[in-house]
Amino acid sequence: MDLALFDLDNTLIGGDSDFEWAQFLIGKGILERELYEARNVEFYEQYKAGTLDIDAFLDFQLQPLARHPRAQLEAWQREFLARHIRPLVSEQARALVRSHLDAGALCAVVTATNSFVTGPIVGEFGVAHLIATIPAQEMGQFTGRPRGIPSFREGKVVRVDAWLESLGLWWGSFERSWFYSDSLNDLPLLSRVSHPVAVDPDPTLRAHAEAAGWRILSLRD
């Protein structure tokens, strides 16, 4: 059996769902533009530079979930998926995921973005397994805090290890393993698989991939 892991933002989709979700809420007037837009951009630039404080970012990202009833959040979530995310999904990305699923690989999306935002997006690709940052909840209401280890940088490796263990598997269970990502932040997990693939990579990851002889792929139309 093979293992195929996929980053989500700027890899399977041509944008960042974290960033786009906040912009969506700002555009609807749910978040105050003057207070949130500059911080949203600032966090996104820090992520791209590899300097993101994940705890500060999660406080920014998850607090709005705690302010609204779950039913309202899910209605916004459906609108966000239809209007903002589906246009960012290329046929090349869908075909890549299908090729691994059709070959019988165990597939998962591994993303730093929280599971509330990303769950429906991953469903668009027909992938059953999602490893994401978990927004804590009590009785169905989000608390505004994360639960457990964020799925970010080295945390992605820890979370994948735990997921495999929960299935009675480990890295040695697979003949081949892939991880597809665009980001320098994913170097720890890219370095764990037998077939690391840089997808439309940022400059730092591109330089690393070229030096290491990794495959470089584009999924953009």
Q: Mark 96-113 as b/e (b = at least 16 C-beta within 10 Å).
A: bbeebbeeebbbbbbbbb
pLDDT at 112: 95
Alpha-carbon separation of residue 134 from 111, 143, 146, 160 (angstroms):
11, 11, 6, 14
Q: What is the mean pLDDT of residues 153-170?
A: 98
Contact, 197 vs 180, CB < 8 A? yes
Tell me: pLDDT of 140 over 90.
no
Pairwise pLDDT comparison (39 vs 72), residue with the higher score: 72
Q: What's the topology of domain 2-217?
A: Rossmann fold (3.40.50)
pLDDT at 61: 87
Q: What is the dihedral of CA 117, 120, 125, 131, to 10 degrees?
A: 50
Q: What is the mean pLDDT of residues 162-176?
A: 98
Alpha-carbon separation of residue 2 from 82, 93, 105 (angstroms):
32, 19, 5
Q: What is the mean pLDDT of residues 149-155?
A: 95
- pLDDT tens digits, 178-205: 999 999 999 999 999 999 999 999 999 9
pLDDT at 37: 87
pLDDT at 39: 87
The identity of residue 42, as a single letter, is E
Q: List, by residue number, the catalytic residues.
A: 7, 9
Alpha-carbon separation of residue 32 from 52, 133, 170 (angstroms):
23, 25, 45
Q: What is the mean pLDDT of residues 18-41?
A: 90
Output the average pLDDT for the chain: 95
Pairwise pLDDT comparison (157 vs 63), residue with the higher score: 157
Secondary structure letter of residue 89 according to DSSP: B
- pLDDT tens digits, 43-101: 889 988 889 898 888 888 899 899 999 999 999 999 999 999 999 999 999 999 999 99
**What whole-number distance in Å separates Cα of residue 217 and Cα of residue 120?**
25
Judge if pTM exceeds 0.85: yes
Pairwise pLDDT comparison (188 vs 34), residue with the higher score: 188
**What whole-number distance in Å separates Cα of residue 165 and Cα of residue 86?**
33
pLDDT at 36: 86
Contact, 42 vs 57, CB < 8 A? no
